[in-house]
Each structure stands twice: as C-alpha cells, then as structure tokens.
Structure 1
C-alpha cells in the first residue's frame, strides 16, 4: 500500500468493466460504450480512434497498431498485426545510390502505408457488438467540436514546435498561428472528422479507397514518394499467434515480429539468471543489471527482427539457452562498452490502452505514429498525419530488416499480457518507443520479484540503456546516478519522462478489476 502522506495515485477498482488509457476522456468514452452494451473491442476501438484527437503527437489514423485479444470464453489469445507495409516500389538500391546509409527519419521515404484503420475495422467486424459507427461517434464529435489540450500533450506539442518537427501543410493543421497550443486550448480537426464519418459509413474502404486515399497518395507523391493507390487498396491486417515466455509464476505474452515483443521475452529470460529480490528495487545494482540485459537483448533484436516473412532465428531469441549464455557475459559491477562485440560470440549465424468488459474479454492495444508527430508530414486536404515507421528499416544489404517494397519494418510498439495457469490475468502495455521491452521486463519484475501492486509497478522510477547512455528519470536520487557512473555508465537525465503505461489486473477469485494508469501521462483508469 502506498504512503498516503506522499503524492501519488491509487489504483482503481470495479467489477463490471474497466479501461485504462493515456487520456481521461478516452477512458470515459470506453466506459460509456461498455455501459451502453458494447464489449471490450467496441470500447477499445472507440477509445483508440479518439486518442488520435486527444494526443495527435502520439497517434492517429495515419499510424499502425498491434493488438492482443483474450476472448470472453477464455480460449487462446489472438494477435492482430495492424502494421502497414512499405510501398511496393520502395527500392533500397535507389536509396543507397542517393547517398543514404540509413533510413531518413522525417522524410517521405520513411512513410509506410498506415495499417491501424484496417485493423480497427476488422476488430469491430469480427469481435464487436455495436458496430463501427457507434464506436466512432465520440471521435467524430470531439474532432469537430474540439478537445481541450491536456498538460502532457501541451508539453510534447511545445517541444515539437520548438524543434520544427512539423513541415509543410502539417503546420497549418497542427499549429495555431505558428505556435503550439497551450494547456486548455481547443484542438479541432474538422477534416479528420469527415474522414472518420466516411470510415463509419463505409468501413476501411472509406479510408483506403476514393477521395481520402487520393489525398494521401497525391500528397506523398508530390514530395517524391513512390506510394500508389494500389498500395493503399491492398492494405490488410493479419491474425497471428502470440509468442510467450515464463518468468517464475508468470507467463509473458507478446506480439510476434515484426513487433519487438521477443526482445521483452529475451530480457525476462536473462533476468532469471539474477536474484533480483536480493537487490533494492530502486538501487543502482538492479538498474545496472537491467541496463546490461537490455544492451544484449536489443542487439539481438537489431540482428534478427523484421517483417514476419524475413525474421530469422526467432526461436533462438526465445530460448532459455540463449538467454543464459548472454546473461553469463554480464559483469555485475561494470558496464559493457560494446554490447555487439560481447554478443557476437553468442549470435554467430518501436499509445496504449487496455479494456476489460463484464464477460472478461480483454483487449491490449497499442497504436502509434512512431516519433513525435510521426514524419511531421500531413496530407494536403484532410490533414492526415503520416507515421514514419519506415525509419524502422535499415539499408544493410541482405539484412532481414533491409528496406524493401511490400515489407513491414521492425516495429517498436508491443502490447502485452500476463497469464497464470492458462488464463489472462493482466493486459498491459508500456509506451516509449524503443524503451518498451525494457518497460515490459521492469513492470513484470516489479510485480513478481518485488510484489508491487499494479499502480506502484507503473509509478516506480525508470532507467533505460539507450544509444550508449543510461537515461535516468529524476525520481532517482543523486547518489544512485553517482554509483552508476562509477560502474561505467554515461548518465543522461532526459527532458521528458521515460514512456508511460497502463494495465488492468483481473481478479477472478474476487470478481474485481484493478486498473492503473501512468502519472507520466494525462490519463487514468476508470471502471464501473
């Protein structure tokens, strides 16, 4: 139990249904859908579409999604890949000939076809109860009438405007007189409201065919893109099977490639080699072990994870033997400088919400445009902000994740679930781009090893080994940073907190749902 003398938030308890999301109005909309007869899928689709209006810097209909779904009947968990592919004419040789040795980040070449709309429509058709039009109604309303800008959203928006992350007509659609909106300003997107109406009326065809698709293709081609109407028309999500790994009593379920869920499982398997409960939960020793594990697991990710058709050695990433060998290379008192070299002896050959309904169908859904405001490019007429997921490709000839026409790039976004005794007990997710596997492993070990409740497991301070530095949130005291520096880590205090998270614990024995939402975002968990 938290100390009520100190700032913090309590978990939320309910019995009939619950949503935890990164924005209060999205959570409220999900609950209203549940109370009016919708199920967890209807609520997740409604809240998901709305989050593109609540948090346009994070997500939107120009992005991708991944979903894990546990049906009400308790049968096997379903995975849905809602990530789009590169345009068919994307040619890595041409990109290399232009002088590129890595994919550009904010450029038309990094824009893959948005996949989330197709996936949301498929989810609604296959699993929903109330129909797409009813789920979309709140997003249409707020896009037209306006959404007050929340504090964390305003914080991110200001950074994007300061750093000129928006270009061309995107500045007209997402800035107010060339400035970022401030807390409480109303953000309106009437053109997007029209797109959402067409989706409500015509399903995925309202987005991938006709005038909306023409607006997107014409806008992209005017900037040098090779995107075609056929690329959009052929976009289709795919059902697949989750992957999993055990950590003590818990089974961690992840989405398979092209998501990076295997990285989280590899990290969890490596952490089994260390007696974490003997280490202080917020101490330097635990942070160090987690950072070293992340370095080696992310190196494996960068070697192998790619489009499902080209991913190699997934079985190796999931094996306990690989994890044990990698863990044995970790010095518990000294940071490694070159994880790729350490790893070489072993390896020779990317917004989140969750909903649970009264029948205990649960949805774990992550939905993103990748970098802040994605590519920074929007379609001319409707203002659809394009993601830049193609930046997840590389330009290494012959690599599984080499850019190429019709391929899906390696993705950072991963929904998660925890299962015990064959039944899902906790749909959860951690936002934050590349941080997400580290976030999954930390959330899992916070609960299993340190017996934290779900809200405490989310609230605890975070660290992330990223790009040669160890990012530490300000929640850690100065002596922890000093100790980590002595171990050889280069410490960086990031401008923004590391990621965000939500989760819902399903207590079947008591018939109670416990929801938690990250203080790093504006959102909340709500139930009824």
Structure 2
C-alpha cells in the first residue's frame, strides 16, 4: 500500500474503461472517445495523434509505430509493425565510399520512410468504430489553436534547442524568437494542422501521395536524401504474429524483429531462474541480477538482431529457456562481470499509450521519432518532423543489421502485452530508447514478483547498464548503491530520469481496471 506521508500518486481504478498516456491532453482525448462509444483502438489513435502535437520532440507523424491488440480481452493477440523501410535507392557502398562509419542522427540518411500514419489507418480500417476525422479532431485543434507546454516537455525542448538550430525550418517552427518556449508558453503548428486535416479527409493517401508527399520528398532530397515519391507511396505496415515467452504463469507478448522485444523476453527468461520474490524489491541483489541479465541480453541484441529476414540466428534460439539458462550460468550473484563489451547504449525518448475499453479490448501502442525531435529535419510546408530511425542501421557489410534498400532497421520501441489463463491481463510499455527492455523487465517483475499495482510498479527506482557503467536514479537507496559497488559495479547518476511508462492491469474476476502513469513524464491515467 502507498505510504501517504510521501509525495506520489495513487493508481486509478475504473470499471468501464481506462487510459494511460504521457500527457494529460492525450489521456483526456482518449477518455472522451471511450465515453462517446468509441473502442480502445479509436481512443488510442486519438491519444497518439494528440501526442504528435503536444509532445513534438517525442513523437510525430513523421515517425514509426508498433501496436499489440487483444480483441475482447482474449489471448489471441494481434501485432502491427508500423515501421518504415530505407529508400529503394539507399546504398551502403555509397555511404562507406563517402568515408562514413555510421549514419549521423541529423543526416537525411537517418530518415527511413515514416510508417506511423499508414499503421494508424490500417488499424482504424480493421478495428475502428468512430470516423477518423473525429479521432484526429483534438490533435488538429491543439495544432491550430495552440497548446501550453507542460513541465517535462519544456525541459526537454530547451535541451534540444541546439539540434533544432541546425535546420532552418525546424528553428523557425520550434524556436520562436530564437528560443525554446518555456513551460506554460503557447505553441502552434498550423502547417501540421493542415496535414492532419488532409489525413482526416483522405486517409493514408493524404500523407503518402499528393502535395504532402511531394513536399516531404523535396525537403529530404534538398538535403541529399535519396527518397522518392514511389518510396512514400509504397509504405505498408505489416500485420504480424507476436512473439511470446512465459514468465511465472504469465504469457508476455512482444513484436518480432526488427523490433527489440526479444531482448526483454530474454531478460525475463534469465530472471525467471531466481526467486526474486524472496529478495528485497529495492535491494542490491535483485538489482544486480537485473543488471547482469540485461548485459547478456543486450550483447545478444547487438550481435544478432535485425529485420526478420536478415536474422542469422534462429529466433527460437534467442527465445529458448535453455539458452537463457546457459546465460544465467554466467552470472555470479556476488560479483559483476569482469569483462563487458561496449554495448553502445543510450537513452532516447518516445510516447506510449495503453487503453482498455468496456469490452476489454486492450491496446498497447507506441509511436516514436527515436531521438529528441528525431532527425531535427522539418518539412516546414507540411509541418512534418522526420524521425531518425535509420541511424540504427550499421554500415558494417558483415552485420545482419546493415543498411540495404527497402530494409527496416532494428527498432528500439516496443509495446508489451501480458495474457494469463486465456485473457488479456496487462497492457504496458516503458519508453526510453535502448533502455526499454530494462524497463519492461523492471516493471513486470515489480507487478508479478512483488505484487505492486501499476502505479507503484512505475514509480519504483530504476537502473540502466550501458556497458561497464551503470546509471542509477537518485531515488535508489544508499545501501543498494553500496551493495552494487561492493559487487564491482561502476555507478553514475543518470543525467535524467530513466524512461517513462504506462500500465493498465485487468482484474477480470472483480471487473476492475487499475491504471498507472509514470511520474517521470507529464501524463496521467484516467478511467470511468
């Protein structure tokens, strides 16, 4: 139970429907849709579209998305891969001949084709109940009439100002008067409002064909990109069968590669071999085991993960309990790994939404620009900020995640969904770029091993092993830090709070929805 002597927030309880997002305007938009008779998919689209306006550094229509959906709260989970591909003219050889060893985040070569809008439309066509124009109306209103910046948004925006100054159109739209808006300042995006209205009228063709597509191609090609109108017209999300693994009687579902969801499942498979419930939830041993499991799973990711058709190690092997056992045997409970490869990990941010409606349809939905303000390249005419997902490609010809025409890069954003006994039980996600598998493992072990409610599970202090160095949040107890140092961990204070998440848990027996929203963001959970 929450200690009411300390700051915090209570979990939200509801019976008819619940939403959790990283911004109050998005949560309200989703709840309004549910109360008007819309389903979970409708509400999630309304929320995500709103976030593309009011959290413009975190997400946008120039990015990608992934979705997990449990119709009627059952265990037949559906997946949608809304990540875009490299342009048909993309060339590994050309970039290497230019002397490049990696793709710079702010380069037009970091811009893969944005898949989010296509995925929204596919999801809406199959499962939507309300008109698309109705769902996009709140986002259009905020873009046209303006929205005041909330605290976390304003803080991140100020830090990203130097990046925005590198692109004249981005600076004009997002640095009014040459400065980042402050908390409470009103910001408008009229060009984005026009584009959203076109999508509301015309669907995906309003974005991937015609004037908007033409403007986006011009923006990218003027900077040296190789994108074409044919590339945009060809964007097509893919319905996929989720991958899954069992954790203490719960089935945890993730999107298959090119998504990194398998990393979270590998971490859980390793941790399942320990009696975590017998350890202190904020203790050094529990945290040490999580760190070491993460290092092993991320090393696997960096060596092997790529678009599904490029995997060189069978996915079944990466998901197997036997393989997890082999990795677990390498962990010393009392000593950190002596030799740790450079994992090359970093935090970045995005938005995540989960919704459950009165029929228990459950949506787990993540939408991203990857890095803050993505590539920093804005198509000012259309108001579209392009993501930077192509920076994940390797320029090593021998690596499975190497750049190739029409190929999807390895993706960090990952929605999660848990089923048990034939029913959906938890819609959840934890944002934070490379951090996300750590966040998923931390949250689910909080919920399952320590019986925390969604809000408490999200509030819990976090750590992130970037390689040799382990970042820790300020709220971790001193005795835990000392215990980690005794085991040989090199600790540093995280530059900012690690990740941000949302969660809804369904108690079918009680007819109860319990929701939480991460205090590291501006958002909230709501229900009715």
Q: Distance in 2 between matches of 1:305 and 1:522?
A: 33
How does 1:329-348 map onto structure 2 within 5 Å?
329-340=330-341
Contact 2:463 2:472 in 1 (8 A): yes
Q: Tell me if the contact between 2:149 and 2:181 (Cα under 8 Å) persists in the aligned partners.
A: yes
Which whole-Å CA distance do the structure 2 matches of 1:159 and 1:489 have between them?
Answer: 29
Q: Does the CA contact (< 8 Å) of 1:296 and 1:339 recur in 2? A: no
Residue 195 (structure 2) aligns with: 195
Are 1:279 and 2:279 counterparts? yes
CA distance in 2, matches of 1:135, 1:477: 44
Q: Distance between the aligned counterparts of 1:241 and 1:190, measured in 2?
A: 38
Which residue number corresponds to residue 95 of structure 1? Answer: 95
Q: 1:74 to 1:131 in 2, by over 3 A?
A: same
1:249 aligns with 2:256: no
1:497 aligned onto 2:501: no
State the 1:338 CA deviation. 3.3
Query: Match of 1:177, SS?
Result: helix
Match of 2:390 in 1: 390
Give me the whole-angstrom Cα distance separating, in 2, the residues matched to 1:105 and 1:111. 9
Q: CA deviation at 1:340?
A: 4.7
Poorly superposed stretches of 4+, deviation over 6 Å: none
What SS does the corresponding residue of 1:212 show, helix, strand or coil? helix
Separation in structure 2 between the aligned mates of residue 109 and residue 163 of structure 1, nearest angstrom: 16
* Superposed displacement of residue 163, structure 1: 5.9
Summarize deviations over 1:484-505 as a string: whole Å, max 9, x none: 2332222121221000010111
SS at match of 1:303: helix
Question: Does 71-80 or 92-101 show the bigger shift?
Answer: 71-80
Aligned partner of residue 220 in structure 2, secondary structure: helix
Do the aligned residues in 1 keep the contact of 2:340 with 2:468 (CA within 8 Å)? no
Encode CA deviations 1:352-411: one digit per residue, 9 max, x unaligned.
Answer: 001111111111000000011111111131231100000111112132210111000000
1:309 and 2:309 are equivalent in the alignment: yes
Give secondary structure in 1 for the equivalent of 2:245: strand
Check whether the contact 2:164–2:175 (CA below 8 A) recurs between aligned residues: no
Q: Distance in 1 between matches of 2:13 and 2:382?
A: 40
* SS at structure 1 position matched to 2:66: strand
Residue 274 of structure 1: how far off its partner (Å): 2.0
CA contact (8 A) 1:256 1:262 kept: yes
Equivalent position of 2:511 in the other structure: 511
SS at 2:458 equivalent: helix
Superposition map of 1:2-41 within 5 A? 2-41=2-41
Residue 323 (structure 2) aligns with:
322
- In structure 1, the partner of 2:218 is 218
Q: Find the aligned partners of 2:73 and 2:478 in 1 and give their Cα distance.
A: 50
2-side partners of 1:251 and 1:202: how far apart?
39
Structure 1 length-normalised TM: 0.96
Whether the 8 Å CA contact 2:190–2:383 is kept in 1: the answer is no
- Distance (Å, rounded) in 1 between the aligned partners of 2:437 and 2:127: 28
Question: Where does residue 457 of structure 1 map in the other structure?
Answer: 457
Matched residue, 1:471 = 471
Task: Say which SS state the counterpart of residue 309 (structure 1) adopts.
Answer: helix
**Offset at residue 315 of structure 1 (A):** 1.0
Please state whether the residue corresponding to 2:385 is helix, strand or coil.
coil
Q: Hey, what does 2:288 align to over in structure 1?
A: 288
2:506 and 2:180 map into 1 onto residues whose CA distance is 40
Q: SS where residue 177 of structure 2 aligns?
A: coil
Aligned to 1:228: 228
Change beyond 3 A, Cα 1:163–1:282: farther
Q: What do residues 435-455 of structure 1 show as CA deviations (whole Å, max 9, x unaligned)?
A: 111111111111111111111
Q: Given that residues 85 and 113 in structure 1 are in contact (C-alpha distance below 8 angstroms), is that contact kept between their aligned partners in structure 2?
A: yes
Residue pair 2:282, 2:477 contacting (<8 A) in 1 also:
no
Cα separation, 2, equivalents of 1:358 and 1:500: 26
- Equivalent residues, number: 521
Q: Within 2, Cα distance between the matches of 1:156 and 1:490?
A: 27
Counterparts of 1:494 and 1:55, CA distance in 2 = 22
SS at match of 2:292: helix
Q: Map 1:131-142 onto structure 2 (within 5 A).
A: 131-142=131-142
| 1:75–1:279 Cα change, 3 Å | closer
1:514-525 aligned within 5 A:
514-525=514-525
Alpha-carbon shift at residue 284 of structure 1 (Å) = 1.8
The CA distance in 1 between the partners of 2:169 and 2:203, in whole Å, is 27
Structure 2 match to 1:444: 444
Which position in structure 2 is the counterpart of 1:403? 403
2:327 alignment partner, SS class: helix
The offset of 1:165, in angstroms, is: 6.8
Query: 1:164 offset after TM fit, Å?
Result: 5.5
1:160 matches 2:140? no
1:126: Cα distance to partner? 1.0
Matches within 5 A, 1:34-49: 34-49=34-49
Deviation at 1:507, TM superposition (A): 1.2
Instruction: Give the TM-score taking structure 2 as reference length.
Output: 0.96
CA contact (8 A) 1:170 1:378 kept: yes
For the residue of structure 1 that corresponds to 2:34, the secondary structure is helix
The question of whether the paired residues in 2 share the 8 Å contact of 1:264 and 1:440 is answered with yes
Post-superposition Cα deviations, 1:424-468, rounded to whole Å, max 9, x if no partner, equal 111111001111111111111111111111111110000000143
Contact 2:403 2:409 in 1 (8 A): yes
Matches within 5 A, 1:67-106: 67-72=67-72, 74=74, 76-106=76-106
CA distance in structure 2 between the aligned counterparts of 1:129 and 1:28, rounded to whole angstroms: 18
Cα drift, residue 336 of structure 1: 1.8
